[in-house]
Structure 1
Amino acid sequence: MNLHIMPDWHAYTMTLPDFNDSVQQTQLFLSQGQAVELILVDYLPKLRQILSDKAIEAAETWSVYDLLQRITIKAAKPLALSDFSWPENAQFVYMADCINVQVAGNHFATIGLEQPALTRFEKIDLWTDNARSQELLIDDRGFISRVTTFDDDEAILRRDYLTPSGDIAVQEDCTTGIVTTQQLWTTQTTFVNMAELITAALAYHLQSVPENEYLIMAQSQMATFLVNELAPKQPTILSYQAERTNEQLAKNNLLQASSMTDFSVTDTTEQYGRIMAQIDQEETLAIIPPYVATQQVKRSTGRPFSTVYWRAATITRADFEAVSSVLANHPNVFVLIETSQSHASFDTLIEIASQTVANAHGIVDSDSQMAYKTRFQFVTPQSEVQRTRYMANTRVLLDLSDRPDQFLQTKAITYGVPQINVIKTDYLIPNKNGKLLRDKSELVGTLNFYLDDEHYLEETQETTHQMVAEYSEDMIWIKWQQIFNKIKQRRI
């Protein structure tokens, strides 16, 4: 069976998508020996890096921009400065994250380096009279793929999409939206906008996709537009991921494709209820967990230090003081706080508290103060890889938000880590693999219990072992097969 997945990766032109339903689906289907084609309608000059980083190179890819730009190159190719033409007297000044090019004392160009490795060229900005005049984006297959031209105020005038040989394949007038192109697959040369051109190119590709093969689309504004415009003959499934749809739901404006789609999936029971309140089609909506759990050995067991992993969308002073009071009585416990919130005020509280912390001999000195402060580690929102590494060494997962993080909860099940939440979720069985707080006043006692008493470990391990079976690759694949079978029966 061939499965065709259309991601919503428009925000990932130069970065990698983490916690993404299309990536997780591709990984799952490939693990089950299924043939997968990624249908890409987003401009992705770093696609090879995305596929490699997520171990999904085995998926076939069809890119609308490869079709439009007449690109047949598959392999990545790094470039050197000598691969570009520079003015004869150009001087190259190497900075931490870029290379500045000076010509006759004037700023001629800035060469951006790919983050975070800084080993490949990402783009080149050309400057005229101290103003950026053009941006040249570099495809990871070794050529300039798109040229964006700016006016004197750096407003975008035009985008030119190039062939690997440097010819203009598609030109987009960014003041009128009109697109001009010459293509072999259509005689039309002018389009109202890029969306119209992409729709025509996708319609051309879908003609070659058998009508009995499934099309799984990440629900988004673009997906809704394309489904309604094209009405695909293939069975179509919309994937509603909470991260994308929460904003729509908050505005009571969920993007729907009505009768053009055969089925929809979402990721949690809570999200299922919120979507059902708007679409009212229970028979064509199902819950499929996005992340897979596999039984792993928790490396933190038996270590002299324990870590509380606190994922905090927001941190209140009351919650922070509660956690701090627990650490005051547990000198071998660290707290890792993942948050995007500013923590300056909490740094001040930590500094004040450290001034009265004594060492093992009852003496307050600079070493005892530093030791206390290092037990609080603030980190910005982490990647899948880094979260997994942290979770392997975590004693307790703490998430007091109204939407606990699914990925972390799945990893907690994987490593047998007890969870503390204030909201009921599919990933927590109260008093089995964690604690559902009825009131925040229970936080201190609950943390003390999981840090002091190891008798809970056996029950937690037994519960998570059972839950791993529920979130295993095989079980999630069965849920997908059930949807495919329902669609088949309806189409007979």
Structure 2
Amino acid sequence: MLFFIPAWYQQNQWCENEQSWTVRRMHTEFDDTVKQIQLFHRNRACPYRIMLLGFAPNFRHFLHRQGVYRAPYWSCFDAIQEVRRKKTAVLSFHNLKWPEGIEFVYTPFVVTAMLEKEKYAQIDFGEDGNPIRIDLYQKGQIRRCNLYDDRGFVSGTVIYEEGRPFYQDYLTESGTWKMRHFLRDGHVEINGKCPEYLLKYQDEAAKKRFERLRYDSMEQVIAEVLNAYLNMTEAGDIFCVAMHGRHTGLLKEILKEKKLILSFFEDRYSVSAASEELELIREADYLIADSRKNVDKIRQDLGLPLENIMAIPPYDSRVDAGISQQFGVQKILVSVDGLEDEIFAELIGLLGRYLCRNEKAQVHLFTRRAEYDRKQKILEQAQRELSRAGLEEGWAAREERGQIAENDLEPGEQVPVRFFVEQCVDELSVSKCMREQRILVDLRENPELYLQIAAISIGIPQIVRTRTEFVEHGRNGILLKDIKKLPGALHYYLNGFKNWNQAMVCSYELVREYTTGELLKKWRKVLDSVGGDSNLTAGGRGLS
């Protein structure tokens, strides 16, 4: 069995609560573990299980969003709370016990419960319309917050004192409090009337008594329950851990005698030779990074040769012909998140001067950040730099404002908008945006992995200033050492189709190296090296 231990934590806490549908998603849910699970789940590569350490009352909805609803999992908090249900259930807030005379006020965002003309409760819903939390008020101040599990029961409740969270109870399916976490000093108390937790492994189930009724931290409780569960697993089982500061300290002790793979993704976990988790890294059977650049960085940071390390991109590639040629304009996608101000300023000036040469070109400034005013801030910054460069700052006006302004101008004075902002948080919106682009420009020190794989899948050229395995200089892109040469690089690919078509052919050749089948071969090599249960070759497609 292959166990995936993910790093799905909210604000570095042992929880991942569902987000209200009215709140803009501030970060992508995709990471290495999500993609690894999708890879193994869809190809039935080998028996696997997710090992969830955090409190996630709406975990089934999360799995559904990732397309792996039936993925097998073990939840540490389900064990603590003795939860036996697995399937989601419909829960209507109308079926809850409300005081006599309650009145529900429906707004476009939440449902407010009013009692005697005062706010009694506020009901928040998840993306699928299920109630996820109900805040209860007294004299205008929040006193309690109930957290609802997508399996149809109250999973937790937070008690407030003077408007501040005081403690959180974790409940059984019947509503009995099992564990109380005091939020100010972090200590945990177990209910002495039901001091047991439930362990289930395959067809085996057993109750086990907590070793004590008071713990100094939540981490101590999780460590005890997790250790008891690991004692039920088999010697040949392999554990793939997403490296994250929240759980590495705990796992370095508990997984000492286990077959261990560590997975590094982007900058989620900072490695250093002085790191207290260095022992965990040294004892791991294999390390996986999302790119060759990250492999080199890990080796350099640790000062170790590390032979047992491999780059396995979490995203697979597939030919997905773009539609950029169907447009009368040439869209240039430019990544701006994390760019130094000086580079951004120079970049806007260079792009503006290139637009003077190429009337068909448009610049689409790409951001992953989800702040409400992010688009406006980027455009305002672009306007300032265009003005400093002596160019038309109206090129970067907000589109709707630009259209209004044009009504006040003479026909010959109208200023077309040529700088746009693409704000894409999740991978679906990124893919949709990428299919319309003619070329990708990513001049950050670390180009985004997903954008690069999407670029080779769609077949568009890339201009970068850092060498990666996804760009072959002069073929499917240009390695730009001097940013001042950007206009020439753009001209090379956008002045006709000859060079652009060659880049597309080269991109599709690179696609073959990162297909699902190739990624599975890499995993086969890793698992063979680690060793373990012979059942790892079982399943529909298998890791052969």
- Regarding TM over 0.5, the answer is yes
2: CA distance between counterparts of 1:143 and 1:324?
Answer: 57
Extract unaligned runs of 5+ from structure 2: 11-15, 20-26, 197-206, 533-544
Q: Does 1:185 align with 2:199?
A: no
Picking from 98, 122, 129, the partner of 2:110 is: 98
| CA pair 6-389 structure 1, distance change in 2 beyond 3 A | same
- Indicate if the aligned counterparts of 1:111 and 1:124 stay in contact, CA closer than 8 A: yes
Letter in 2 for 1:311: S
Distance 1:338 1:80, change over 3 A: same
- After superposition, the C-alpha distances for 1:117-141 in whole angstroms (9 at most, x for unaligned) are 6x22221112223222222111112
CA, structure 1 residues 142+376, in 2 after alignment: closer, same or farther (shift >3 Å)?
farther
- Does residue 308 (structure 1) correspond to residue 332 (structure 2)? The answer is yes
- d(CA) in 1 for partners of 2:412 and 2:455? 32
User: Which of residues 32, 36, 46 in structure 2 aligns to 1:25?
Assistant: 36
Matched, 1:241 2:265: yes
Which one scores higher on RCO, CA 8 angstroms, separation ≥ 6? 2
Q: Distance in 1 between matches of 2:395 and 2:324?
A: 30
Q: In the alignment, what sits opposite 2:251?
A: 227
Alpha-carbon separation, structure 1, partners of 2:173 and 2:320:
46
Q: Which amino acid aligns with 1:317?
A: A
Moved over 6 A (4+): 355-359, 366-371
Question: What is the TM-score of this pair, normalised by structure 1?
Answer: 0.89
Distance 2:424 2:105 in 1: 33
> Cα gap change, 1:17/1:369 in structure 2, threshold over 3 Å: closer, same or farther?
same
Task: Report if the CA contact (8 A) 2:28-2:425 is conserved.
Answer: no
Partner secondary structure for residue 372 of structure 1: coil
Give, in whole Å, the separation in 1 of the partners of 2:32 and 2:146.
Answer: 30
1:85-484 aligned within 5 A: 85-115=97-127, 119-154=129-164, 156-181=165-190, 182-183=195-196, 184-190=207-213, 191-246=215-270, 253=275, 255-256=277-278, 257-279=280-302, 280-313=304-337, 314=339, 316-339=344-367, 340=369, 342-346=377-381, 348-349=383-384, 353-354=393-394, 365=409, 372-373=416-417, 375-484=418-527
1:369 deviation in Å? 7.5
Cα displacement (A) at 1:4: 0.9
CA distance in 2, matches of 1:364, 1:178: 65
Is the Cα contact below 8 Å between 2:49 and 2:73 reproduced in 1? yes
Unmatched 5+ stretches in structure 1: none
Rounded Cα–Cα distance in structure 1 between residues aligned with 2:35 and 2:137 = 41
Change (3 A) 1:254 1:417: farther
Give the alignment's TM-score, normalised by structure 2: 0.81
Whole-Å Cα distance in 2 between the matches of residues 437 and 480 of structure 1? Answer: 33
Deviation at 1:207, TM superposition (A): 2.1
RMSD of aligned C-alpha atoms? Answer: 2.8
Distance 1:368 1:104, change over 3 A: farther
Deviations 1:78-116 (A, max 9, x none): 32231222222223222332222222222222212225x
| % identity of equivalent residues | 22
Q: Report what 1:14 is aligned to.
A: 18
Offset at residue 487 of structure 1 (A): 2.2
Do the aligned partners of residues 365 and 252 (structure 1) sit closer, same or farther apart at CA in structure 2, a change above 3 Å counting? Answer: farther
CA contact (8 A) 1:396 1:417 kept: yes
1:220–1:244: 8 Å Cα contact kept in structure 2?
yes
| Comparing 61-70 and 226-235, the one that deviates more | 226-235
Aligned residues: 479
The structure-2 alpha-carbon separation of the partners of 1:370 and 1:105, relative to structure 1 and needing over 3 Å to count, comes to farther
Kindly provide the amino acid, as one letter, of the partner of residue 309 in structure 2. Answer: L
TM superposition shift of 1:408:
0.5
